[in-house]
Amino acid sequence: MNTDITRYGTGPRMSEAVAYNGILWVAGQLGEPRGSVADQTAQALAEVDRILAEAGTDKTRILSVQIWLADMATFAEMNSVWDKWVPQGHTPARATGEAKLATPDYKVEIIVTAALK
């Protein structure tokens, strides 16, 4: 059992991800503000891919995902991007909800927990 804590993209307020005991917690990822929900979803998922790769894992190892939408009316638009990105046969447990995000320009935020390799 590895009891070391590894932090990725550490800043003064938060880290992009934290690994401990074979699990990686990825902070909420956003796309560029003011883009469409589809654009922001694609950008956030690209950031998830980047962080997973930096930690030495990939999206087939994702355990769970929380997706926050500023407006649940955009659920289908977000899913149109998600469904192309998520690896079939490796779909994680997932919850999607509506929340007021950091600014009105953000439409989607994605939080991931993954197993390390």
Per-residue pLDDT of the chain (117 residues; tens, 9 = 90+): 567 999 999 999 999 999 999 999 999 999 999 899 999 999 999 999 999 999 999 999 999 999 999 999 999 999 999 999 999 999 999 999 999 999 999 999 999 999 999
pLDDT at residue number 3:
74
Structure-block tokens of residue 21? 């005991």
Q: What is the pTM of this model?
A: 0.95
Instruction: Note the pLDDT of residue 1.
Output: 59
CB-based contact 34:106 (threshold 8 Å): no
User: What proportions of the chain, in percent to the nearest 5, are helix, strand and coil?
Assistant: 30, 30, 40
Which tokens go with 103? 């600014």
The predicted pLDDT at position 51 comes to 98
Q: What residues have CB less than 8 Å from 10, skipping those under 6 apart? A: 16
Are 65 and 54 in contact, with CB atoms under 8 Å apart?
A: no
